[in-house]
Amino acid sequence: MSQGSGPGFRPASGRSEAPAPLLANVLLFGRVLRRAGLPVSLGQMLTFLEALEWVGITDRQHFFHTARSLLVYRREDLSLFEAIFLKFWRSEHPLDSPRGQKAPRAPRHDLKPVPFTIANYLAHKARLFDPEIEVTDRSGSFSDQEVLQRKEFSRMSEEELAEVRRLLSQLRWKLSQRRTRRWVSARRGRRVDFRKTLRQASQWGGVALSVPRRGPKVKQRPLVLLADISGSMEKYSRLVLQFFYCVSQSLGQVESFVFGTRLSRITPQLALRNIDRALEEAALEVVDWSGGTRIGESLESFNRQWSRRVLRRGAVVIVVSDGWDRGESAELGAAMRFLQHRCHRLIWLNPHLGKSSYQPLVEGMQAALPYVDDFLPVHNFHSLEQLAERLQDLPRRR
Amino acid sequence: MLDSIESTLEALGGQSYLADPALGTSLFLALKMGKPLFLEGEPGVGKTEVAKVLSRVFETPLIRLQCYEGLDLQQAVYEWNYPRQLLAIQARPTGSDASGEVLEDIFSEPFLLKRPLLQAIDASQDKPPVLLIDELDRADEEFESFLLELLSDFQITIPEMGTLRAVHRPMTLITSNRTREVHDALKRRCIYHWIDYPSPERELEIVRLKLPEVAESLARQVVAFVQGLRRQEWVKLPGVAETLDWAEALSHLQVQRLELATVEATLGFLLKYQDDVEKVKSGVGAQLVREVLAKEEDESG
């Protein structure tokens, strides 16, 4: 559509006093919106033009509200839209320099130079392994793998960790299911499917020769992953991210968050197909790699901002942390209580738990423990396998 | 009837609903273009109320579908009246074996139970009704995809009977509390509007309009207190509905000046989570009451 009104778009300083045709301006506006990352379709632009006939273009506020209600359909985009609108329609001659229109870009299209972070480093290392090398890796004898499975992550070398990551991507994840309230045809269902029964009966002259049944539909539970990536967890955070990535790829309905002193949601990043890019993008989203920890505060902001949206329909929550908390332990306790009351099962994975000498004496861990349903170790690969088994077979009640 | 944004706002105002110009624009366009209006916003900002007011403005029935998990076609669109069908089969003269006829018979309109969505496109109505699909975020994704078909063509296909098409397109409103993201494909068929909490001035106007019996000074204090609460972080912020409830309660208690003790005793009207109530009691409330009273003295003196 930009082609159609091509000549009108040239910067024309000579005729800037003549008002540019509205149509061209509106179309250009649509283009600017799209360039900024707002998903505005041609259909929406046409509807907008149609609506202008009724609303008129004399009242600036009406014009703005009309544009907003027809071109935006996500709350997140509202402020970006407003910023662009104000910028675009402020000057009387927006056609003066279409190239100079610098709308703020939506964050997802922002390509910043990549800073050095653990995940980037991990991604870089991962690139060194091509698939062919992986095949030769598999030739490692069975007993080697056995040793690897029991070895603690914190004592592994770079190569061993890479091997663990490969094993991780082979693990099959399955989450326990729940009955939904939707009913579908089921051979041994509890309810009679009257509609089918009668339809068949009427074909048999009104005699119900068979009685089809309906039962509840079962669905996988939603899963919410929350990982501590503060300084004390640094050596695990790369593995944790990889673990999150594998789980999100093999299960639907997974939401991932990481926190140190504040919470970041990395679900959209982990949905990328390419693992390197996924981890890179996730690393960009996170502001405080290896900083301090405020578990209570982070969980509380999760509760406030996200719990109502992601803890639905009997979700399972997994928190990965060692419980070293610099915040108030009372706050952590309250946040955990809130969290536990709103999910089907709250699982805490602690990397230190596998060590025989470990006692959960840290204040933060003490505050959180009363509200944890399963307190499990994640210190070696074997414990991850156990977790996978556990997730498949969660008890129906606490 | 409503041929401009101003007249839309006026009509809403005539039914004691104070809408801001943005909502007026969205609603006007939705009616004019025959598109559904998708209202999103926190609970208690007056989303459902828009539909009720609209049905009063046009003097047309309001058909409401409350969504919930597992909502299916039988509850939302239509169901066959099985007992009646069974009786009809039994009652038919013995010896007749025209099974095709029976099928046609018992799957026809007299045996059909019309649920809200079918009622909304029912041809027997003389003017378009208001259809409210309330809290769509509570329904599951399966139901959403069904709605896609209904909302684009306003027609419903019943396999045994054929396709029923709306003679009058219902004025459709969909609300969501955003406990989950509704699919873009559905939103794109609608006019989208996010209802925010009202500004202090507008909220005060709403209280005045809805509760004329509440004293002006108390109304100001109530609104100032609630607006103060909304500036902080809570599990669940109080909506306009809560403001109105609280103002009414305080007025029944014959309160003229907010006091901490009264506020704490009636907090249940505003905050619905124990965590929030405790936070107010731990000092936030006292601070807010002081601010509100200081401001009130400025305004009245």
- Model pLDDT, residue A225: 92
- Model pLDDT, residue B179: 82
Q: Is A185 helix (H, G, I), strand (E, B) or coil?
A: strand
Express each pLDDT in A19-40 by its tens digit: 457 888 888 899 999 888 888 8
Separation in Å, CA A264 to CA A163, A267, A287, A312, B39: 28, 9, 8, 20, 28
- Model pLDDT, residue B95: 56
Quote the pTM value.
0.74
- Model pLDDT, residue A262: 77
Q: Are strands B171-176 and B130-134 parallel, antiparallel or unpaired?
A: parallel
CA-angle at A90, arms to A89 and A92, nearest 5°: 80
Q: Is B142 on the interface with A (CB under 8 A)?
A: yes
**Among A177, A201, A196, A176, which Cα is nearest to A185's?**
A196
Whether A195 has a pLDDT exceeding 80, the answer reads yes
Q: Which residue do the tokens 């709103």 mark?
A: A342
Q: Is B89 on the interface with A (CB under 8 A)?
A: yes
Sign of CA dihedral B156, B161, B165, B171: negative
Express each pLDDT in A76-92 by its tens digit: 888 889 888 888 887 54
Q: Interface pTM (ipTM) of the complex?
A: 0.72
Kind and range of the H or E run holding A48: helix A42-55
**Among A161, A344, A266, A211, which Cα is nearest to B86's?**
A211
User: What are the start-end ranges of the E strands in B213-292?
Assistant: none
Contacts of A309 in chain B (CB under 8 A): 178-181
For chain B, the average pLDDT equals 88
Q: Is A376 helix (H, G, I), strand (E, B) or coil?
A: strand
Where do the H-state alpha helices sit in A97-256? 118-128, 131-137, 142-150, 158-170, 194-203, 234-250
Express each pLDDT in A93-123 by its tens digit: 443 333 434 444 444 444 444 444 555 555 5
Whether B7 has a pLDDT exceeding 50, the answer reads yes
The proportion of chain A whose per-residue pLDDT surpasses 70, expressed as a percent, equals 77
Q: Which chain B residue shows the shortest CA-CA distance from A180?
A: B70
Express each pLDDT in A133-167 by its tens digit: 333 333 333 445 556 566 666 666 777 777 777 77
Compute and round to an integer the Cα radius of gyration of chain A: 28
Mean pLDDT on A256-282:
79
Whether A75 has a pLDDT exceeding 60, the answer reads yes
pLDDT band at B63 (very low <50, low <70, confident <90, very high): very high
Measured between its terminal Cα atoms, the distance across chain A in Å is 59
pLDDT band at A290 (very low <50, low <70, confident <90, very high): low
Mean pLDDT on A322-345:
85
CB contact under 8 A, B22 and A78: no
Mean pLDDT on B275-299:
88
Q: Which residue do the tokens 């000498």 mark?
A: A357
Q: Are strands A254-259 and A223-228 parallel, antiparallel or unpaired?
A: parallel
Whether A189 has a pLDDT exceeding 90, the answer reads no
Contacts of B188 in chain A (CB under 8 A): 41, 44, 73
CB contact under 8 A, B99 and A54: no
Whether A179 has a pLDDT exceeding 70, the answer reads yes
- Model pLDDT, residue A310: 85
- Model pLDDT, residue B10: 92
pLDDT band at A364 (very low <50, low <70, confident <90, very high): confident
**Among B139, B133, B138, which Cα is nearest to B120's?**
B133
pLDDT band at B93 (very low <50, low <70, confident <90, very high): low
Count CB-CB contacts under 10 A for residue B259. Answer: 12
- A75-107 per-residue burial string, b: 16 or more CB within 10 A, e: under 16: eebeebbeebbebbeeeeebbeebeebebeebe
What is the spatial distance between Cα A396 and Cα A311, in angstroms, rounded to a whole number?
A: 17
B117 CA to chain A: closest CA distance, Å?
18
What is the spatial distance between Cα A320 and Cα B179, in angstroms, rounded to a whole number?
A: 25
- Model pLDDT, residue B135: 93
What is the spatial distance between Cα A320 and Cα A223, in angstroms, rounded to a whole number?
A: 13
What is the spatial distance between Cα A242 and Cα A275, in angstroms, rounded to a whole number?
A: 8
A392 CA to chain B: closest CA distance, Å?
23
Whether A66 has a pLDDT exceeding 70, the answer reads yes
- Model pLDDT, residue B242: 94
Sign of CA dihedral A243, A248, A251, A255: positive
CB contact under 8 A, B187 and A309: no
Q: Which residues lie across from A179 on neighbouring strands?
A: A218
- Model pLDDT, residue A357: 74
What is the spatial distance between Cα B261 and Cα B252, in angstroms, rounded to a whole number?
A: 16
pLDDT band at A289 (very low <50, low <70, confident <90, very high): low
Count CB-CB contacts under 10 A for residue B164. Answer: 20
Kind and range of the H or E run holding B225: helix B216-230
Query: Do you know the residue count of chain B?
Result: 301
B277 CA to chain A: closest CA distance, Å?
14
Whether A196 has a pLDDT exceeding 90, the answer reads no
For chain A, the average pLDDT equals 74
Whether A9 has a pLDDT exceeding 60, the answer reads no
A155 CA to chain B: closest CA distance, Å?
42
**Among B157, B149, B191, B148, which Cα is nearest to B171's?**
B191
Name the more confident of B90 and B136: B136
Neighbouring residues of A139: CB distance < 8 A, sequence distance ≥ 6: none
